[in-house]
Amino acid sequence: MRLSGYKFKIAIVVCVIVLAAVIVLVSPIFYIEEVVILGNAQIASSEIRGGLQLGPTSNILMFNASAARRRVMQNLYIDNVIFRRDLPNRLYVTVFERRQSAYVEHMGSFLFLDIEGRVLEVRSYVAEPLPLLQGLQFTRVQLGDVLEVANPTDFAAVVQYTQLLATHGLINYITHINVADPTNIRILVNYLEFHVGNDTDADEKVRTIAEILNELPDAGRVRGFINIRTIQPEFFLELLQ
């Protein structure tokens, strides 16, 4: 009898503790009062907040990060989102964005691609200084997916050069990348062509392009080509008439 009374008292204490914990957890002290958004450069903070779907009584301890991440990442320009709770009422949202690196023409529109060749957006105009990819034959176009082309090897080479051009700060300076002849990919600044061959020694070739452009401040006005299919001590500009 005494044992049953003891168990009953333990149960009462546990219930009181649980009830107190629930009261504390749903207390207004844990309502999210501040959202700090970091890492976004091209996506408005208001759009990201909208994807969080927070209300005036949203509890930071009950915040569903997985569901919020799915909603925010419906924007194809967002690669990932990380949340951090700063108790009692501050939520940090760190956004990792995808950036446009090139575009292609398709059926009267322009497909904007990220650094991996993923289709981010379809528009009827081009405002950004980005390279136009030429010579690719598409087999499938789907927003959010990597562009599918007839020859994936050629596309992989173009993507590699695009990544290297971005790494070396040239992506907004190059106007065209032409892979019509995959044995001699051409990287252009207006009418100045760099004949780079295939993707062998691609990084060194892009470094060479950067050095040459640094020595040619008016490169955008030059009509000619420079053969850098093989790395040599000196390179010569052949002017076009």
* Mean pLDDT, rounded, for 184-196: 96
Cβ neighbours for 179, distance < 8 A, ≥ 6 positions apart: 133, 134, 135, 136, 154, 155, 157, 158, 185
The C-alpha R_g of the chain, in whole angstroms, comes to: 28
Classify residue 32 as exposed, middle or buried by CB count within 10 Å of its CB (0-12, 13-18, 19+): buried
pLDDT at 153 over 80: yes
**Sorting pLDDT into bands at 50, 70 and 90, what band is 219?**
confident
DSSP for 96-137, please give it.
Answer: EE----EEEEETTEEEEE-TTSBEEEEES---S--PEEES--
Give the three-state DSSP class for 60.
coil
- The residue that leads in pLDDT, 10 or 125, is 125
Q: What's the confidence (pLDDT) of residue 2?
A: 52
* Mean pLDDT, rounded, for 12-21: 57
> What is the CATH T-level fold of the domain 2-97, as seen in this structure?
Ubiquitin-like (UB roll) (3.10.20)
- Give the right CATH number for 102-239 from 2.60.40, 3.40.50, 3.30.70, 3.10.20: 3.40.50
* Mean pLDDT, rounded, for 87-105: 96
Q: What's the confidence (pLDDT) of residue 15?
A: 61
Q: What's the confidence (pLDDT) of residue 198?
A: 94
Mean pLDDT of the residues in the chain: 89
pTM (predicted TM-score): 0.84
Would you kindly state where each structural domain of the chain is located, as residue ranges? 2-97, 102-239
**Sorting pLDDT into bands at 50, 70 and 90, what band is 118?**
very high
Residue type, 120: L
Residues 58, 129: Cα–Cα separation, whole Å? 42
Give the three-state DSSP class for 227.
strand
Tell me, yes or no, if the two domains 2-97 and 102-239 fold the same way.
no
Comparing 8-17, 84-93, 139-148, 226-235, the range with the smallest average pLDDT is: 8-17
Residues 127, 241: Cα–Cα separation, whole Å? 30
CA angle 150, 156, 158 (to 5 degrees): 100
